[in-house]
Structure 1
């Protein structure tokens, strides 16, 4: 209703000005009064033409080169208009309904059409932030030179652009028993292949009843236990700490790089990502699985209402000991360190990647906790963005 009243007022203003100038010329006479009337008449008629213009019949198209990018890339958006017929002396403003995450300073562009029926413009967004960005509509506004009549229409055109996290080419190596800084227990636990017994030994407390070799026990007149071949598991599960932190983008970049490097090597790799939502990806490999992980990382946020330690208490009990766990976090707390130490005592050691912006970002308390974890046999690596490429072949 308000738009209709506004439209009526605008048309009434134009007709009123034409009437006033005509009346003035009729009663006053002379060159000046008629010059004013005839000078304004083309603009007044153009304004009335704009008021009657079928704006909804304009054909609006948006062209985006690709629907997927990586963080930091440049996005080019081309918008074109095709008018059913031209209007002389008119301005058209094209306004893109940008996604909030892009926060463009240039939100619209106005150009004089004159006698043109087609118009195109290009917007550039750089650098692109990580996320899923939805372009929902384009607003077209037509007005005359004096702004007497203003007519607008919105064209719903939805395009979705997914910006995947940036990654670095990481040199992948299964983290073994040694780091440059000294010895540490392997982060990849051993598990027994129950289908293949390779020998027998004396029974010790804690051996399962099903492991007893009854024939050997009868011959030696004491309990003997089967010995099984022990194999290392290459399966990896990455736990992404989504506790609010200013270093979350660096953590996502590291996680994406780690996942990509492992899967490219053929390693079965999974992801635990718990925040306001919960996503658990089982350990798999392949390009489709990697694409699924990257899509999640494109949209995830540091919005966990619970600390990492509490999440680990709930989630880690569901995974077998044969899976190697890598924790990606930017802050090491006493509660988390105590829980990881408890995991180590239960033969679930894993690896901790502590992400910092630079070497000076590690607090003294965190350095003490890092040393404490290393003494417990938990490999703990402090990694800055400059060190991501070599984080798996050396640490600090």
Structure 2
């Protein structure tokens, strides 16, 4: 209320100054006389009258915001359409429309969310903008700010229209190519071994090749004997559970660890594999479950999770009895002795896949190389991923 009174006082102060200035120009023309003085008065008079009328006519507008995408992933483009309607026919020389950016956007230039229009008699004003590379998280668009004035800025008006809109930006989904354990390398390629894509079934017979069959399923002996392509038939086994242990304590690779964790969980749930999440150093633990609602709970947590460097890793969770027979994914940006030792105590090491995420090859330390060799020698699948090559492609 105080802000409204202050704005009204400032408006009427400007109006009084405009009236005084108009009177001064008139007095100058009266006492000075001549063509030049009266020309200045008559040339100034239309602008003064417009400014006075502008001050008397209230700025009454309504706003509508439309988001072209309701679900976004980090790095996507956000497209927004704003529609402003006014009720009076008064001509406006210019209007400045700005969609107030939330603090969570961290925009380098807020000019991306504002635009100046010259509507004059138009009653509907439209403004569209795009934001590239939107950050992961929950963002709240709160209001639309509209500012206008007369030609020379004698009188200015501003109105803020509350327009709440919540926007969820999920983690970026990465395209992790799945290959056999023998082809997994440490040169930063995107090949990630996954037991999810291994055949979880046994051969029960052969049949003719059909479009869409994997080339690896071809039974070459039967093909050579019959003279046509034959593929193996399988009997499905019971699906394994999957638990992802995510280490969110490394700041350098934090966002990539979140993206890989989300990608693995989404891939598992989409294939009908019960999956759970254990954030190391966090109290939130998601039990093993399946279904779209469970996936949305996991993705929402990964959307809101923040870096907490002070939290200590709780490595005892790897050996918990409830995860004994589940496949384990360990996603981390820093492989250290304590983490490696907690993995060695597991009996079924073949079900453990370790993904070590590094920003670049020069961040891959000699100590980490030694620990990776030890993990591989113990039977664990271990892959080193470098961010610069990992983000070359994403899942849309």
Partner of 2:50: 46
- Rounded Cα–Cα distance in structure 2 between residues aligned with 1:148 and 1:387: 56
Q: SS in structure 2 opposite 1:61?
A: strand
Partner of 1:32: 36
Partner of 1:286: 291
1:239, CA displacement in angstroms? 1.3
1:123, CA displacement in angstroms? 0.8
- Rounded Cα–Cα distance in structure 2 between residues aligned with 1:236 and 1:300: 21
Tell me: CA distance 1:348–1:52, structure 2 relative to 1, closer, same or farther (3 Å). farther
Tell me: CA distance 1:21–1:318, structure 2 relative to 1, closer, same or farther (3 Å). farther
Say which is worse superposed, 356-365 or 328-337, in terms of deviation: 356-365
Tell me: CA distance 1:97–1:278, structure 2 relative to 1, closer, same or farther (3 Å). farther
Partner of 1:81: 84
TM-score by length of 1: 0.75
Tell me: CA distance 1:374–1:302, structure 2 relative to 1, closer, same or farther (3 Å). same
- Rounded Cα–Cα distance in structure 2 between residues aligned with 1:238 and 1:88: 61
Partner of 2:267: 261
Partner of 2:150: 144
Q: SS in structure 2 opposite 1:20?
A: helix
TM-score by length of 2: 0.75
Tell me which structure has the larger Cα radius of gyration. 1
- Rounded Cα–Cα distance in structure 2 between residues aligned with 1:119 and 1:318: 62
Gaps of 5+ in 2: 186-193, 196-236
Tell me: CA distance 1:264–1:169, structure 2 relative to 1, closer, same or farther (3 Å). farther
Aligned residues: 337
Partner of 1:337: 340
Partner of 1:242: 248
Preserved CA contact (<8 Å) 1:43 1:89: no
Partner of 1:305: 310
1:243, CA displacement in angstroms? 0.5
- Rounded Cα–Cα distance in structure 1 between residues aligned with 2:380 and 2:259: 23
Q: SS in structure 1 opposite 2:276?
A: strand
Q: SS in structure 1 opposite 2:135?
A: coil
Preserved CA contact (<8 Å) 1:349 1:378: yes
- Rounded Cα–Cα distance in structure 2 between residues aligned with 1:255 and 1:130: 14
Tell me: CA distance 1:265–1:21, structure 2 relative to 1, closer, same or farther (3 Å). same
Preserved CA contact (<8 Å) 1:170 1:261: no
Preserved CA contact (<8 Å) 2:93 2:149: yes
Preserved CA contact (<8 Å) 1:172 1:261: no
Gaps of 5+ in 1: 189-230, 390-396
Preserved CA contact (<8 Å) 2:331 2:354: yes
1:357, CA displacement in angstroms? 3.3
Partner of 2:213: none
- Rounded Cα–Cα distance in structure 2 between residues aligned with 1:256 and 1:45: 62
1:360, CA displacement in angstroms? 4.1
Tell me: CA distance 1:12–1:96, structure 2 relative to 1, closer, same or farther (3 Å). same
Tell me: CA distance 1:181–1:48, structure 2 relative to 1, closer, same or farther (3 Å). closer
Q: SS in structure 1 opposite 2:103?
A: coil
Say which is worse superposed, 331-340 or 378-387, in terms of deviation: 378-387
1:383, CA displacement in angstroms? 2.4
- Rounded Cα–Cα distance in structure 2 between residues aligned with 1:372 and 1:315: 17
Tell me: CA distance 1:88–1:28, structure 2 relative to 1, closer, same or farther (3 Å). farther
Q: Spell out, residue by residue over 1:310-351, the C-alpha distance to the aligned partner (whole angstroms, 9 max, x if none).
A: 32336864734222321100111122222223x326979733
Preserved CA contact (<8 Å) 2:138 2:167: yes
- Rounded Cα–Cα distance in structure 1 between residues aligned with 2:167 and 2:92: 37
Partner of 1:61: 64
Preserved CA contact (<8 Å) 2:319 2:346: no
- Rounded Cα–Cα distance in structure 1 between residues aligned with 2:270 and 2:84: 45
Q: Spell out, residue by residue over 1:133-153, the C-alpha distance to the aligned partner (whole angstroms, 9 max, x if none).
A: 211101111111111111111
